[in-house]
């Protein structure tokens, strides 16, 4: 670690001018106010356009050079250094787990004094961060992206799917993908389709509290994900996150049935209308649902996606023009989040009719989040069915969007795309079971 | 009830040709298949374009004349008649409750043999439908609309708000509004702003099971709503629906904090991140939250709405063009449902910046449903704050949309509209309390 470790370009020049070093407390003036915090090193792959301060609140602030007016060193810090933890020796015969980083902070190495965070890029570093991992698996870390998950696109899904497929060929016993939680559910759904039939466990994992906070859920989520990816007897795409607020149990969710239902709680992720796939406690798997696919078997990845699908949430007085806009933006499939059992206003229904007539595929999900559509109960629903709207049953709208982009990626369109949207391909919809 | 009660226009002529009468079992051929069911009478306010059959499943089907190919009478039924229930005598000194119908089937009179449903338009009819009501209040039913709730618009919100304001002047002790459940939450939020400070309870109520099904939640919801509207010591706008799946307790939700979170369960409505306002059991109010406003006080309704607001749910690879489309459709305020703590992709953020620069107001809510935004944690959030995006805290996106339309209805725009969106006006957002 140098004096300005990780900084480059304009950011480096700015800091050199102020005489600052990593670990110093800086007062930085910006166009919108003054910020005081400890200068922390950048990620290995950070850009040259930002400096990062650790605030007293424990959060890191990234400041764009754009808005910086000036800075001064308020207090010199000690030169930071990562403590050296000699990694424990991996036990022999451990399963091989590929750990793919996408930019979530979960598999990052942290200096708890400065708050510096950077991806752990070697096994040794990773084991020194979470020593338990070395007892669970031979972990091979690989940073694929370093982006915030709100910027993940279908192009990233495709790269991830291809990498997992290669890992299967290379003999990995499991894959863990660390991912920002914001769009973790969308990515899990996307991979569930692209990797349907994958013969090993592929487990996405995130953290709601960054690893530089004492209350972080990162280490336990990671341990559980690696343990399950390495040794579980089942295969498929899943999400591993805290089951409750306490730091003891990890819920494993099916990739097509999981949703981030809270902005900040550790147990923000929930399986919607289906039981958990598994529960992991500190001593290993405590519960595994019946019917999960076993390891092994045929596998033909279909990793392509096509962005030509849109998600529209209906609301009172929504202009029909929004449907036309989605089409103009290139949507060949539109997933509508209707109200209740799957309804939209007459105006929006009329636009969906035109969209379908022009060759588009319109699908209906519900903004209720939980429960199943029924387009046979009310006039509106029957009109929608009649005009050819695809009823998605109990499929999550977010899953439906990812599926639509995958369906288009297979080259399907029109009637074939409709049929694929309807059919259960990766556990995304279940047979009707009427509540009450 | 005549032979073809309620039918008119083309529908009447079609039925006359087939020789059908209400109560007969008809086999109807349509362009998409054949439907068999019992012909039921139309609502008093039904159109002349549909005939309605009651299927064996218990559901009613409305068939548009458009798609009808032919019909034949499969079996003659008995001439239907509503049983006469002499209404019990209202007790003296009961509170006066205005019961406004908007098209939900909840306050409808039902013939259980034919499944015929029509609004109960007189007190006598209503008391014969739910005799308990006569012991609770002098109920004055008034049908304002007869539409499916997905077709409710801000124009309807405005009419409802004006009617409630008039009821206050006329000395009503409470108002109950029956409403389809699909957009009940949006309407409750809208009225909460338009009627802020209303000196009596205004309780919206719906039913998840239509009154012609033995498992209907309609009667109990209605009894509870009328009881609370008439006698509760608090005022304000609320939603009354089943608290659980069993038919014994009714939850009272604050109008700005309630969401339909399940497509079909009786307890689909939930208070999000706040406690229930009250719980009603068969013997009356069992629990009332602290801090609800008492009856009485100053009241100046602001019933106007302006449709120039849009709700956009963000998703991976959402085209920036959707923001421009919302603006083109007339949106002066856009409520974005971002991911997690309130994030969108760089592309969408860029478009929001342009929207704001052109004088628009962009607000951020979270698609997580539960939890609170925090735009200070990550770069994306700080960028959004920096460009002037309004962070909505723990406000529901649906509530935010209704609020935006109301804010515009007051004539506010620009900085004034921003300030109103931020400020808590009707309990729609609460002071920060960090979980964990």
Q: Do B235 and B324 reside in the same domain of the chain? A: no
Catalytic option among B38, B102, B178, B181: B181
Residue A233 confidence (pLDDT) above 90 = yes
* Among A121-135, A141-155, A197-211, B404-418, the least confident range: A121-135
B189 and B100 in a common domain: yes
Q: What is the mean pLDDT of residues A7-25?
A: 88
Q: Does B56 touch chain A (CB under 8 A)?
A: no
Chain B CA closest to residue A310: B318
**Considering only CA atoms, which of B47, B176, B154 is closest in space to residue B99?**
B176
Please give the helix or strand (H or E) that residue B328 lies within, else none.
Answer: helix B321-328
Whether residue A382 is contained in a domain is answered as yes
Q: What pLDDT, on a 0 to 100 scale, did the predictor assign at position A216?
A: 77
Catalytic residue among B54, B178, B212, B260: B260
pTM passes above 0.90: no
Residue A314 shares a structural domain with residue A253: no
Confirm whether the ipTM is greater than 0.90: no
Domain count, chain A: 3
What pLDDT is recorded for position A208?
A: 86
Confidence (pLDDT) at B43: 47
Would you call A111 an interface residue with chain B, using a CB distance cutoff of 8 Å?
Answer: no
Place of tokens 């992206």: A145
B94: CB partners within 8 A, 6+ apart: B135, B136, B137, B138, B230
> Is residue A50 within 8 angstroms of chain B, CB to CB?
yes
Residue numbers in chain B where pLDDT is lower than 50: 1-2, 43-45, 80-87, 110-116, 433-436
Q: Which of A238, A256, A288 delimits the end of a domain? A: A288
Identify the band that residue A60 occupies on the pLDDT scale cut at 50, 70 and 90.
low
> Would residue A90 count as lying in a domain?
no
User: Which segments within A137-271 are labelled E, that is strand?
Assistant: 138-143, 174-178, 201-205, 236-242, 250-254, 258-260, 269-271
In a domain, B203, yes or no: yes
Last residue of a domain, one of A27, A46, A75: A75
CATH number assigned to the domain comprising residue B71: 2.30.30.520
- Let me know whether A272 and A319 are in one domain: no
> What is the C-alpha to C-alpha distance for residues B142 and B172, in angstroms, rounded to an integer?
13
pLDDT tens by residue, A161-190: 999 999 999 999 999 999 999 999 999 999
* pLDDT at residue A217 greater than cutoff 60: yes
> What was the pLDDT predicted at A105?
59
Assess A364–B contact: CB distance below 8 Å, yes or no: no
Is B241 within 8 Å of B191 (Cβ atoms)? no
Q: Are B313 and B282 members of one domain?
A: no
Residue A3 confidence (pLDDT) above 80: no
Is position B139 within any domain?
Answer: yes
Nearest to B378 by CA among B410, B430, B338: B338
Residue-wise burial string across B319-343, b where 16 or more C-beta atoms lie within 10 A, e elsewhere = bbbbbebbbebebbbbbbbbbbbbb
- Using one digit for the tens of pLDDT, what is the confidence trace for B92-109? 689 999 999 887 555 555
Q: What is the pLDDT of residues B229-266, one digit of tens each?
A: 999 999 999 999 999 988 889 999 999 999 999 999 99
Is A399 within the bounds of a domain?
Answer: yes
By percentage, how much of chain A surpasses pLDDT 90? 62
Of A67, A180, A263, the CB nearest to B368: A263
Q: Per the domain annotation, does A4 fall within a domain?
A: no
Give the nearest partner residue to A182 out of B150, B310, B343, using CB atoms: B343
Question: Could you tell me if residue B86 is inside a domain?
Answer: no
Q: Say if residue B368 is in the same domain as residue B262.
A: no
User: Which residues on adjacent β-strands are paired with residue B202?
Assistant: B175, B237
Q: Tell me if B118 sits within 8 A of B6, measured CB to CB.
A: yes
Question: Same domain for A106 and A194?
Answer: yes
Over residues A69-120, the pLDDT tens digits come to 889 998 888 654 444 444 455 566 899 999 998 876 555 554 444 444 555 6
The pair of structure tokens assigned to A356 is 């379908």
Which CATH number covers residue A239? 3.40.50.1170
| One domain, residues B55 and B148 | no
CA B144 to chain A, closest CA, distance in angstroms equals 18
Same domain, B337 and B196: no
Residue A304 lies in a domain: no
pLDDT for A330-380, tens place per residue? 999 999 999 999 999 999 999 999 999 999 999 999 999 999 999 988 888
What is the extent of the structural domain holding B276?
Answer: 96-288
Domain-terminating residue out of A29, A46, A75? A75
pLDDT of B52: 78
Give me the residue from B265, B307, B370 closest to A371, CB to CB. B265
Co-location of A128 and A245 in the same domain: yes
A214 touches chain B (CB under 8 A): no
Between B83 and A265, residue with greater pLDDT: A265
Q: In chain B, positions 123-162, which contact chain A (CB-CB < 8 Å)?
A: 148-154
Strand A250-254 and strand A236-242: the pairing is antiparallel
pLDDT in tens, A30-59: 877 788 888 877 644 456 777 878 776 555
Q: Is the pLDDT of residue A68 over 50?
A: yes
CB < 8 Å to A182, chain B:
339-341, 343
Q: Is A217 on the interface with B (CB under 8 A)?
A: no
| Cα angle, residue B171 at apex, residues B168 and B175 outer, rounded to 5° | 55
Same domain? For B235 and B117 the reply is yes
CATH number, position A327? 3.40.50.40
Residue A323 pLDDT class (50, 70, 90 cuts): very high
B105 and B68 part of one domain: no
The minimal CB distance from B373 to the residues A150, A180, A263 is found for: A263
Q: How far is B315 from chain A (nearest CA, A)?
A: 7
């Amino acid at each position: 670690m140098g004096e300005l470790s990780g900084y480059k370009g304009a950011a480096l020049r700015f800091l050199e001018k102020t005489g600052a070093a990593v670990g110093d407390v800086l007062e930085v003036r910006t166009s919108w106010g003054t910020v005081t915090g400890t200068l922390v090193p950048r990620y290995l792959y950070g850009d040259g356009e930002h400096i990062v301060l650790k605030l007293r609140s424990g959060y890191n602030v990234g400041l764009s050079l754009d808005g910086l007016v000036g800075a001064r060193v308020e207090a010199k810090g000690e030169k930071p250094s990562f403590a050296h933890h000699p990694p424990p020796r991996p036990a022999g015969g451990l399963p091989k787990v590929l750990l793919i980083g996408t930019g979530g902070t979960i598999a990052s190495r942290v200096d708890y004094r400065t708050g510096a965070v950077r991806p752990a890029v070697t096994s040794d570093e990773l084991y020194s961060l979470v020593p338990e991992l070395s007892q669970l698996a031979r972990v091979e870390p690989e940073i694929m992206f370093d982006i915030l998950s709100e910027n993940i696109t279908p192009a990233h899904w495709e790269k991830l799917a291809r990498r997992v497929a290669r890992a299967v060929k290379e003999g990995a016993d499991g894959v863990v993908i660390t991912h920002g939680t914001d769009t973790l559910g969308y990515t899990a759904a996307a991979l569930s389709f692209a990797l349907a039939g994958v013969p090993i466990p592929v487990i996405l994992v995130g953290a709601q509290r960054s690893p530089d906070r004492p209350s972080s859920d990162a280490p336990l989520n990671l341990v559980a994900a690696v343990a399950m990816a390495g040794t579980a007897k089942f295969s498929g795409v899943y999400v591993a996150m805290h089951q409750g607020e306490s730091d003891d149990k990890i819920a494993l969710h099916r990739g097509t049935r999981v949703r981030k239902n809270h902005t900040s709680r550790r147990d923000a992720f929930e399986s919607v209308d289906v039981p958990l796939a598994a529960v992991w406690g500190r001593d290993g798997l405590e519960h595994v649902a019946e019917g999960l696919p076993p390891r092994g078997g045929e596998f033909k990845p279909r990793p392509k996606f096509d962005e030509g699908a849109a998600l529209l949430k209906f609301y009172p007085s929504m202009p029909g023009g929004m449907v036309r806009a989605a089409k103009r933006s290139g949507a060949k499939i539109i997933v509508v989040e209707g109200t209740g059992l799957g309804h939209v206003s007459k105006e929006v229904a009329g636009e969906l009719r035109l969209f379908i007539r022009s060759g588009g595929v319109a699908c209906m999900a519900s903004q209720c989040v939980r429960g199943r559509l029924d387009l046979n109960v009310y006039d509106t629903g029957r009109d929608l069915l009649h005009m050819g709207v695809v009823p998605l049953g109990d499929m999550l709208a977010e899953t439906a969007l990812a599926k639509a982009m995958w369906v288009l990626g297979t080259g399907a369109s029109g009637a074939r795309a409709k049929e694929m949207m309807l059919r259960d391909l990766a556990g995304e919809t279940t047979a009707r079971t009427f509540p009450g």
